[in-house]
Amino acid sequence: MEERATASVRVDGAPAEATLGGGELRWRRAAGGGSGAAGERALSLEREVFGVQARGNVVVVRAFVVAAGAGGKAAGRRRRRDFVLEMAGGEGAAAAWAERMTRCLDSFGRPKRLFVFVNPFGGKKCAKKIYDAEIKPLFEAAGVSITVQETEYPGHAREVASSLDLAKYDGIVCVSGDGVLVEVVNGILQRTDWKEAIKMPIGVVPAGTGNGMAKSLLHAASETCSVSNAVFAIIRGHKQSLDVCTILQGEKKFFSVLLMTWGLVADIDIESERYRWMGSARIDFYAVVRIMNLRKYCGSIQFVPAPGYEEYGEPIKQFENCMVEFLEQNGKSHPSSYPGPSVEFQALDWRFVDGPFVAVWINNVPWAAEDIMAAPEAKFSDGYMDAVILKDCPKADLLALLMKMGDGSYIKSPFVTYLKVRAFKLSPGQLVENPKRGGIVDVDGEVIARGEGTYGKSQHQDVMAYGPHIQLTVHQALATVYCPKRIR
């Protein structure tokens, strides 16, 4: 460890004594000197500083600090601030201090080269503007080399990630909602070198409609969900392992990092697209429409409960080992890409529940969107999915539930079943009141299966068929994401 260094400086025109050491920059200003008031200030190089530069006889310390006196809604909000230290020792002293601080910052293992996806079509279509105004200046100030790729069509990020020369980069960043992150994970897992490729850290900057992953990561660190906080988390380089769910139907395969939903929530999310001109209000508006005209779907679910959740549902007496089927099919269709988790469950592990259902919601992280805490007990890498099951609920109570989704307290309702599962199978059926019409299966904001008569059915070719069972299995801690701090 380097010894502490001290120097006479001027900060904001006021004389001060500065100390550098122990991963901290500290200075004390004397009373009555220049424009500055007496007092002491300390900056943690690891937690607050993202760049240092020597300019002649001054050292510019680029920091990202919590706003003074922040409370209430402003709690956790940070702002960019440059501290300028004029060194009494001249240019040599400034260069030495800048070099020493830079050496300390480099020791934290922060990323130096990033590949950045910018989705100009997501959310309010402001991602490019956000990147130019807020994201690029922060990366440049931190000395990070950036390669930018704007996505041009659905699936573009997946294609690029599947063939990107990852040796050139320390991480991948998604400036988007959750869709580009999902594409990147799917692209990486279809590579022949997926075992090494999936170790590449992925950062998420909220610039879309939902932003569930960014919200989950920042909230877990008690940080406000904002563009600048997300970028600073990436600059600092802390990493968090993340479970990945393999979704399988026959030989068709898809990977999820956020959620799968069927019934009420999927209908609201997808069918409200026709009201996109309303902005974010479309979700609330269409939620009321759907509750007033509530649908119930026939179907069934099967699952392997986590320890402590074995009492829900009924045991399956006759069971076909779908895990063996899962591994055999993946080995045949994609022999060199990620085959899915290597796990097998016995017949006695599985339980089932038959419909009709109002909603089925499977979550991998706590927040489904910035204002919806769908799974308050979800963890990033516990090896479980958090299932929310709603079989019946009076309309008035259902409206009350929606009002409680902002803090996750809705799961306390007697109409809501909440449990953790290791594996899950959904067999989606038809509307109770209209057997000729099916529902929508939504994964991470994208439709993977639609029944007859549903919104968008005639315009889209979906990844999977509606009706045959769709299976989810967790691979614990498969992927890695950038986070604000080390989260347990």
Burial of 467 per CB tally in 10 Å (0-12, 13-18, 19+) = middle
Kind of pairing between the strands at 385-390 and 416-431: antiparallel
Among 119-133, 153-167, 203-217, which stretch is predicted with the lowest mean pLDDT? 119-133
The DSSP annotation for 115-149 comes to EEEE-TTSTTS-HHHHIIIIIHHHHHHTT-EEEEE
pLDDT band, very low/low/confident/very high, at 347 (cuts 50, 70, 90): low
Q: Is 106 a catalytic residue?
A: no
pLDDT of residue 29: 83
Mean pLDDT lowest for which of 104-108, 190-194, 314-318, 327-331?
327-331
Return mean pLDDT, the chain. Answer: 89
Output the CA angle 371-373-376, nearest 5 degrees.
155
> Where are the extended beta strands (E) located within 416-464?
416-431, 440-443, 446-450
Looking at the chain, the whole-number percentage of residues with pLDDT higher than 70 is 90
Catalytic residue among 82, 132, 178, 462: 178
User: Is residue 410 exposed (0-12), middle (13-18) or buried (19+ Cβ within 10 Å)?
Assistant: buried
Per residue in 376-396, pLDDT tens?
Answer: 999 999 999 999 999 999 999
CA dihedral 41, 42, 45, 46 (to 10 degrees): -130
Cα angle vertex 435, ends 431, 438, to 5°? 50
Identify the sign of the CA torsion 242, 248, 253, 254: negative
pLDDT at 134: 93
Q: What value does the mean pLDDT take over residues 373-377?
A: 97
pLDDT higher than 90, residue 34 = no
Q: Tens digit of pLDDT for each residue in 175-217?
A: 998 999 999 999 999 999 999 999 999 999 998 878 999 999 9
Question: What pLDDT score was predicted for residue 459?
Answer: 64
State residue 79's pLDDT score: 87
Predicted local confidence at residue 208, as pLDDT = 82
* pLDDT score recorded for residue 488: 53
Of the chain, the percentage scoring pLDDT greater than 90 comes to 73
pLDDT of amino acid 121? 83
Q: Is the pLDDT of residue 457 over 60?
A: yes
- Can you tell me which residue has the tokens 């910018």? 118
pLDDT at position 35:
46
Dump pLDDT digits (tens) for 76-114. 578 889 999 999 999 999 999 999 999 999 999 999 999
What number is the average pLDDT over the span 219-240? 94
The answer to which of 182-186, 228-232, 320-324 has the lowest mean pLDDT is 320-324
Residue of higher predicted confidence among 260 and 274: 260
- 325 pLDDT higher than 70: no
pLDDT at 132 over 50: yes
pLDDT at residue number 340:
85
The pLDDT value recorded for residue 327 is 43
Q: Are 372 and 406 in contact (CB under 8 A)?
A: yes
197 close to 268: Cβ distance less than 8 angstroms: no
